[in-house]
């Protein structure tokens, strides 16, 4: 009982929440368009410094609260499935997973009495933490806290920052914080909302309207009008968000023909469903000005949202109980690329644009399409943008991102 009292003491909870706020501030500052590198740098450094000086009880709550501050928006999608009653259980599960993960890191370091070994284990653990993906979900990257700071976000830069904090604590000398300057990186990708050659369409289609059969034809015509507008303004390429056409495009010949006809004047990149026999795929349709049509299927599926990561017997039960018996989407067996006017682009559909796997070949340019309507309103689009900024920084990739329910943009390294 005494240990439980330590976990739920007011001081422990306040410390855990405060540190979590420091480690999550970069998301909320960006969401409100507050951009001060000094502030982002200070809060992130303070968060890790206070965490490294904390006990096991605080460590647990930092993992718990930080995961909720980063990922509470996952519960918003349950509203669209009429499963609001499950949101508290989902949030509790998220908090406990990362809470116990954080506690495990402390427990590992606490096995050693030598303070230097303790700190070394903490440093290494937080560097490796981004490789731990519960159920295939890989959006938790501790180094992301510095994505809007004066520092870089590569592993070696993050290691220097954490090592400077660890040395400051062990040596009780704040001058060691100056070592963090070795990770100084004033150059971060720039974000722009216009582009001279590629028109990135932003749509604002509510999830309920998106699947309303009575609104399907009007929606399809509206999407075609976006293409017509891009043609009239002289763009070479137009990009529409993920699955904006409420159809299996490969089974809707009039729509397919309308897109192909317009592609005589402009390259068209659009999200759309693809029916492969009886298996649905989340796909990108590429209609190019030379008359060619390519379909790029999604390579990395969203855990639970598109593909259930549980064992088959549990997966079947979850799909039947919560998703009306819907079958999982089918993933491509390879990363798709295509050429537009002689330049190669890597295809990315929403979640996969934020995965390390997509960047294994160091792509120079990515065209990403997303539907953030499942998480509207929330901080999900902000965290998604920060993750893309992280990858653009590390891999020197230009990312063109067309989005439903938030503003489209280009990230240029």
SS3 assignment, position 269: strand
Among 143, 242, 306, 352, the active-site one is: 242
Task: Please count the other Cβ atoms lying within 10 Å of the Cβ belonging to residue 139.
Answer: 18
What residues does 279 pair with on adjacent strands?
Answer: 276
Among 22, 143, 330, 350, the active-site one is: 350
Among 118, 298, 330, 389, the active-site one is: 298
Q: How far apart are CA 169 and CA 182, in angstroms?
A: 18
Tell me the CA end-to-end span of the chain in Å, nearest whole number: 53
298 given a catalytic annotation: yes
- CA 50 vs CA 24, 100, 146, 407: distances in Å: 14, 19, 16, 36
242 given a catalytic annotation: yes
SS3 assignment, position 401: strand
Give the ranges where 146-252 is alpha helix by DSSP (H). 155-171, 207-210, 216-232
Q: How far apart are CA 219 and CA 244, in angstroms?
A: 8
What residues does 95 pair with on adjacent strands?
Answer: none
306 given a catalytic annotation: no
∠ CA 282-399-392, nearest 5°, is: 120
DSSP letters of 26-55? HHHHHHTT---HHHHHHHHHHHHHHHHT--
Largest CA distance in the chain: 73
- CA 19 vs CA 126, 238, 362: distances in Å: 15, 43, 34
Residues designated as active site: 242, 298, 350
């Amino acid at each position: 009982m005494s240990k439980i009292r330590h976990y739920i003491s007011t001081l422990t909870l306040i410390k855990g929440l405060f540190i979590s706020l420091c480690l999550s501030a970069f998301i909320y500052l960006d969401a409100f368009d507050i951009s001060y590198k000094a502030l982002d740098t200070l809060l992130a450094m303070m968060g890790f410094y206070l965490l490294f000086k904390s006990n096991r009880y605080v460590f647990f709550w930092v993992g718990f609260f930080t995961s909720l501050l980063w990922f509470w928006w996952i519960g918003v999608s349950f509203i669209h499935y009429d499963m609001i009653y499950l949101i508290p259980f989902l949030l509790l599960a998220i908090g406990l997973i990362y809470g116990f993960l954080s506690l495990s890191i402390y427990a590992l370091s606490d096995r050693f009495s030598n303070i230097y070994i303790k700190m070394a284990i903490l440093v290494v653990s937080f560097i490796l933490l981004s490789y731990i993906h519960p159920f295939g979900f890989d959006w938790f990257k501790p180094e992301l806290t510095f994505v809007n700071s004066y520092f870089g976000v590569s592993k070696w830069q993050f290691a220097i920052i954490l090592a400077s904090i660890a040395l400051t604590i062990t040596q009780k000398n704040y001058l060691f914080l100056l070592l963090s300057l070795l990770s100084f990186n004033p150059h971060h990708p720039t974000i722009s909302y216009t582009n001279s050659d590629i028109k990135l369409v932003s749509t604002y289609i509510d999830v309920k309207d998106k699947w309303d059969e009575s609104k399907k034809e009007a929606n399809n015509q509206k999407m075609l009008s976006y293409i017509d507008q891009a043609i009239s303004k002289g763009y070479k390429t137009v990009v529409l968000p993920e699955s904006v056409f409420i159809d299996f495009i490969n089974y809707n010949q009039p729509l397919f023909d309308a897109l192909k006809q317009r592609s005589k004047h402009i390259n068209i990149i659009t999200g759309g469903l693809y029916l492969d026999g009886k298996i649905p795929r989340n796909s990108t349709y590429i209609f190019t000005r030379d008359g060619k049509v390519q379909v790029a299927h999604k390579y990395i599926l969203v855990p639970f949202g598109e593909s259930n990561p549980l064992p088959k017997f549990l997966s079947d039960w979850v799909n039947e109980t919560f998703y009306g018996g819907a079958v999982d989407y089918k993933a491509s067996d390879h990363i798709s690329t295509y050429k537009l006017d002689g330049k190669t682009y890597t295809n990315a559909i929403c979640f996969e644009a934020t995965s390390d796997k997509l960047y294994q070949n160091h792509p120079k340019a990515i065209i990403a399409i997303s539907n953030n309507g499942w998480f509207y309103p929330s901080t999900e689009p902000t965290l998604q943008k920060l993750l893309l900024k992280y990858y653009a920084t590390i891999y020197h990739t230009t990312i063109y991102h067309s989005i439903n329910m938030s503003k489209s943009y280009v990230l240029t390294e």
